[in-house]
């Protein structure tokens, strides 16, 4: 059996300075996948936490759709 180890890059930021709904201590963390094809996004809030995963292509489409003004 072969077991590989890796170091995954993660970015972290407090939400308060970006979102007026955020409370002190709320934050977002984005961790790249080891295969470099996507990322895990975690949003920690005082009242709830969310975690989801997106490929880079899915993230690109989400960004386009968020800017869409039709």
pLDDT digits (tens, 9 = 90+) for 5-63: 999 999 999 999 999 999 999 999 999 999 999 999 999 999 899 999 999 999 999 99
> pTM of the prediction?
0.82
pLDDT of amino acid 69? 84
Does residue 52 contact residue 41 with C-beta atoms inside 8 Å?
yes
DSSP letter (8 states) at residue 27 = E
Q: Which helix (H) or strand (E) holds 35?
A: none
């Amino acid at each position: 059996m072969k077991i590989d180890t890796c170091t995954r890059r993660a970015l972290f930021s407090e939400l308060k300075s970006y979102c007026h709904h955020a409370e002190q201590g709320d934050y977002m963390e984005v961790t790249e996948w080891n295969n470099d094809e996507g990322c895990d996004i975690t949003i920690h809030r005082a009242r709830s936490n969310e975690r989801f995963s997106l490929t880079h292509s899915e993230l690109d489409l989400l960004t386009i759709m968020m800017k869409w003004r039709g």
